[in-house]
């Protein structure tokens, strides 16, 4: 009888541990666990309290001469020693999202003129200009007259990337060779 009780307790503990580790319901499970029991539920968060489970991806799409947009395409960071270009793009995306977040928090109190001013400040910020330059250097459709870049979160688990930021449409110089910023 004692071994059955131990087996049931261990099975319940395993079930709570597995449920708490699931990304979508883990927070709810952890919230329902009594305070005296919560130290017994392991937290499988490697490298941080909330590990990176999605990649930040820089994407762009061409604005065509007929007024339509082309498909979203990923900007592949150039291969440098030790993946530095990829790290630079990732850091720049993080800084842009931080800047956008600060702008949105500050923008709750302003009117339309204040919003236009915030958008203009964002478009001349260093992260925005760096990502725009990276998107301009990517190959474009021959009929493209402009481009728009986007930042998305992508995961191997999800089919479609989640777009979290979309830039304004920027004019694309015609006849610019690939790899040269617009």
- Helix/strand/coil for 102: helix
Read off the pLDDT of residues 132-165 as tens digits, 9 standing for 90 and up.
998 988 888 888 999 999 998 887 776 788 888 9
How high is the pLDDT of residue 8? 94
Give strand ranges (E) for the chain: 55-64, 73-74, 144-154, 162-166, 170-171
pLDDT surpassing 70 at residue 65: yes
Q: Are 60 and 73 in contact (CB under 8 A)?
A: yes
pLDDT surpassing 70 at residue 93: yes
User: What are the C-alpha distances in Å from 157 to residues 1, 54, 151, 153?
Assistant: 43, 9, 18, 11
How high is the pLDDT of residue 21? 75
pLDDT surpassing 70 at residue 179: no
Q: Determine which helix (DSSP H) or strand (DSSP E) holds 19, and give its type and residue range.
A: helix 2-21
- Helix/strand/coil for 161: coil
Q: Give the Cα separation of 14 and 35 in Å (integer).
A: 18
Q: Give the Cα separation of 182 and 74 in Å (integer).
A: 18
Quote the percentage of the chain above a pLDDT of 70: 76
pTM: 0.63
What is the pLDDT of the chain when averaged over all its residues? Answer: 79
Q: Where are the domains of the chain?
A: 2-40, 55-171
């Amino acid at each position: 009888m004692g071994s059955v009780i131990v087996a049931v307790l261990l099975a319940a503990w395993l079930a709570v541990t597995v449920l708490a580790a699931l990304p979508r319901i883990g927070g709810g499970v952890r919230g329902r666990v009594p305070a005296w029991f919560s130290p017994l539920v392991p937290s499988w968060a490697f490298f941080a309290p909330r590990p990176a489970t999605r990649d930040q991806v820089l994407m762009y799409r061409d604005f065509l001469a007929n007024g339509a947009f082309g498909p979203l395409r990923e900007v592949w960071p150039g291969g440098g020693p030790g993946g530095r270009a990829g790290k630079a793009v990732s850091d720049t995306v993080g800084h842009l999202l931080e800047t956008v977040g600060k702008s949105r928090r500050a923008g709750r109190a302003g009117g339309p003129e204040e919003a236009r001013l915030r958008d203009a400040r964002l478009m001349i910020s260093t992260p925005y200009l760096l990502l725009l330059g990276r998107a301009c250097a990517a190959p474009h459709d021959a009929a493209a007259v402009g481009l728009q870049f986007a930042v998305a979160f992508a995961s191997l688990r999800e089919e479609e990337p989640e777009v979290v930021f979309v830039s304004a449409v920027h004019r694309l110089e015609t006849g610019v060779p690939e790899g040269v910023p617009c």
